[in-house]
């Protein structure tokens, strides 16, 4: 077998075949790693964020409620100084604010 025949019938097909196998293997591994390492965790991200936000809300809600209660009681204590119309306005404003913050009274327990 002459050298040009050796190139055409042995070396070139071997090079092409190994290149295709290598490319296929790299593609397969890249797809598998992409899905397992990147795409799958990103798909679960909204659920994980929602869970963390809900946990933070449950942890902070008692502190928030205590501060609102103290503020409301402070406003009631100061109400004789304000007069009846101003006192009613403060109470209504506070209740409306609480209703908006707590989602219209649809709070989960």
Strands of the chain, DSSP E: none
Residue range 60-103, pLDDT digits in tens: 888 888 887 887 777 777 767 666 777 777 778 877 877 777 76
State pLDDT tens for residues 44-64: 778 888 888 888 888 888 888
Determine how many CB atoms are found less than 10 A away from the CB of residue 61. 12
Report yes or no: 79 and 90 within 8 Å, Cβ to Cβ: yes
Provide Rg for the chain, Cα atoms.
Answer: 35
How many Å apart are CA 88 and CA 96, to the nearest integer? 12
Q: Hey, where are the domains in the chain?
A: 15-101
Note if the pTM is more than 0.85: no
């Amino acid at each position: 077998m002459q050298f040009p025949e050796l190139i055409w019938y042995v070396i070139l097909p071997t090079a092409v075949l190994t290149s295709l196998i290598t490319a296929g293997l790299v593609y397969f591994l890249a797809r598998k790693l992409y899905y397992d390492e990147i795409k799958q965790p990103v798909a679960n991200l909204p659920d994980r964020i929602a869970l963390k936000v809900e946990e933070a809300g449950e942890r902070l809600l008692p502190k928030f409620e205590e501060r609102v209660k103290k503020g409301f009681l402070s406003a009631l204590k100061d109400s004789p100084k304000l007069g009846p119309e101003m006192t009613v306005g403060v109470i209504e404003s506070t209740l409306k604010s609480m209703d908006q913050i707590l989602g219209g009274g649809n709070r989960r327990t």
